[in-house]
Structure 1
Amino acid sequence: MSTRSVPARALPWVVVGIVLVALSLRGPIIAPTPVITELQADLGLSAATAGLLTGLPVLLFAVVTPLASKLIGRAGPEAAVLACLAGVLAGTVIRSAGPFPAVLAGTVVIGAAIAIGNIVVPVIIRRDVSWRRVPVVTAAYTASLNVGSMITALGTAPLAAVVGWRGALAAWGVLTLAALVFWLGVARRRAGAPAADSAPAEPSTATGALRQARGTARVRRTGWWLTFAFCGQAFSYYSVTAWLPTLLADTRGLSLAASGASASLFQVAAIAGALGVPLLAARAPEWAPVAVIGALWIALPVGLLVAPEGYVVWSVVGGIAQGGGFTAIFSIVARIVRSDAEAAGTSARIQGSGYLAATVGPPLMGALNSATGGWTVPLLIVLGATVMFLVGGLLAVAESRRDPA
C-alpha cells in the first residue's frame, strides 16, 4: 500500500496527466481499422498482412513489457512516460509517411512505446494517489483508454474523406503531442525534487525481516493470481473484439454495417464498467467488484450461446465487464504493492502474460470457427477464459487480505 501521495489540490492535475496518456494508448492501434480498405488498396496488401497493423502491437505489448519495467526502474516514471509519448508520436508520423515497410515500422514503434505506457501508468497511480482514491483514478484511466479508442474509431473515416488515410492517421498525433507537452512540464517540475520511493524501510529485527519477507511473498502470490485473471480478461477482450461483428453477421444474419454497430456497444459500454467498479468498491466487500464483473463476463458467451437473439444486451453486458475487469485488476495491484519497483515488476508480469494470451485469442477463435463451421466451440473457449478471470480475481482478493505475519 502506498504511503506517499500528492496533496489533494494536486490530484486533479495527476488525473489530467493520466487521462492525456491514456488517450494515446489504444487509439493509435484502432485508428487504421476504419480505413483499412483504403489502406489495403493503396499499399496493395492482403487482408492477412493488413491485420498486422492491429495484431502486431498487441504482440509487442507482451515482448517489450519486461524491458519497459527495467526502463522505469532505471530512468524513473516521468522519463518512461516521455519515452512512451515520444515513441507513439514518432511511430504515428512514420506510419503515415511512406510505403508499407514504413507503415509496418511505425506500427512496431507505436506498439513498443505503448507497452511502456501500459506499465508506467499503474506505477504513477500507486505513487501519487492515496489508496482510497486508487479505484476512482484507475477507473478514469480505463475509461480514457476506451474513449481514445472510440473517438479514433468514429473520427478516422471522416478525416480520411477530407485529407486521405495518411493524413487521418497522422492527425491523431495531436493528442499525443498535447500529452507530451504536459508531461514535459511535469518532468521539469519534478527534476529538482529529491527522489524517494515508498518501499518499506529495511527491518532492524529478525521479526521485522520475517514480516517483510512474508509481505513480499504475499504480493508475489497475489500477483500470480492477478496474472491468471488478466490472461482470461485479455484473451476474452481481444477475441470478442476481433470476431463479434462476424459472429453476429453469421448467426443473426445482420449486415456487416449492422453487426459492426452492434459490436461497437461492446467498446462503448466499457466506460460504464470502468466507472462503476469504484462505486461498487466503496459500498461492498472487496471481493464484490470482481464477483460482479466476473458474472457479467460469463454472461456474454453464455448469452450468445443460449439466447443469441439478445445479442444487443450481451454486447452491453460484456462491454461493462471488459471495462470493469481492467479497473478491478489494476486497482488491486496499486493497493498491494509497496514501492515503485514492486509496482512496475508486478504490473509487467501481469500485462506481459496477459497480452501474450491476447495474441493467441483471435487466431484461435478463427481457427476453431473454420474447423467446426460454427461459433459454439469458440464461445465455449471464451467462456473458459471468463471463468479464469473470475477465479483468479477472487483468489487474488483472498490472498491480498492475508496477514503477512
Structure 2
Amino acid sequence: MRPADEAELAGMVRAAARDRLRLEIRGGGTRPLGNRPRAEAVLETGALSGITLYDPGALTLVARAGTPLAEIEAALEAEGQMLPFEPMDHCRILGTGGVPTIGGAVAVNASGPRRIKAGALRDSLIGVRFVTGEGEVVSNGGRVMKNVTGYDLVKLMAGSHGTLGVLTEVSFKLLPRPQAVATVVLDGLDAAGAVAAMAAAMRTPYDVSGAAHADGTGTVLRLEGLADSVGYRAEALVKALADHGAGRIVPGAGPWADLRDAMPVADGAGDIWRVSVRPSDGAAVIAAAGAESAFLDWQGGLVWLRMPQGTPLRERIADIPGHATLIRGEGPRAFQPEPMALAQISQGLRAKFDPKDILNSGRMV
C-alpha cells in the first residue's frame, strides 16, 4: 500500500480498520527495530516526501515524513544549519538498504552523541501530523517555536515506533552549524577511568558536545563553535583533565560519525544491544555483560554491546537500573519489559490511538 498523500493514507487506514487488516508501517525501510509486527499488509509512506517549509531566519523546518534525511541535511547545510540531535543511520549496523527518512528517525527517536548537549530528537520536535489507527488526521504542536495548548502529542509520537499513528509531517527547531570542531582524546583509559574522565569534562565550563569511549578510539570529547573559541577550550580542557591522562587535540570531524552509527560494535556476528543507564553505571554494564565488544556514549549513559547470539543480557545486568533494547538479533522481547503501572498506561494509550490494533501490532510489546 503506497499512498500518494495524507488523504489517501487516511482512507487506506480507515479501510484497514474496518476490515481489521493489520499493517506494517514502513518509511525508508532502514530501521526495522523492535519485534517483528503481526501484519497482513505493508503501508509505505515514502511518497509523502518533500520539505514544505524552511525558514532559516526562524531556525525552523517542516517536512513530510517520507522525506530522505539526506535531502533535509543538504538543504540545511546550504544555509549553515543542522538538525540538533545528530540522527543515527541504522543501515550500517543492521545491513539494511533503502533511504533513511525523517519520519523513521522520529518513529525511533534517533538521537546521536550531541544528545548530552542538545537533547534527544523529541526535544527538537515542535510539531507533528499523523493518522491514527481509525484513519483520523491529527495535528499537534506547531510550525514555529512557540507555546501551544493541549496535550503534548509531539513528544508522545517520538519513539512510538509507528504504534500510535502513521506520521505524515514533522516540524523541527534547528541549530547553526558550528564553524569549527575539535576532539580531545585521552588514550589508555579503561571503561571505569573513561567514565570518570568524561564526568570531569562535563563539569568544566568548556561546553562539551560529545563524550564517548571505545577501544581503539580512546576517550573522546568533542568541542564545537567558533574557531578561536574551540581552540582555546580544547587546550583548556586538556589541562583540566591532566589528572586523568595526557590529552591530545584532533581537529576536524573526528570519529563522531562512526560513533553515532555504532560502528565499534557493528562488525562480526552476534546480537547488538543498546543499554540506557545512569552515566556513572556505564562501566558496570560493560563489566557485568561480558561482551565481545562494547563502547560508551553520552558520557557513559548509553552502552552499545555486541554479545554472542541468544545471550540473556537483561539477566546479567538486572541489578543495574536502566533499560536494554535488542537492536540486532532474534529474541522474544526486543524492548525492556515495562513495570506493571507503566505497561497499563502504554496499553491505554494504544487503545485510544489504535483501538483495532492494526498499526505495527506487537512491535513494542
Q: Which band: TM-score by shorter chain?
A: under 0.3
* Structure with more of its chain in strand, by fraction: 2
Q: Which has the higher contact order (CA 8 A, sep 6+)?
A: 1
Scaled by the length of structure 1, the TM-score of the pair is: 0.24
Scaled by the length of structure 2, the TM-score of the pair is: 0.25
* Structure with more of its chain in helix, by fraction: 1
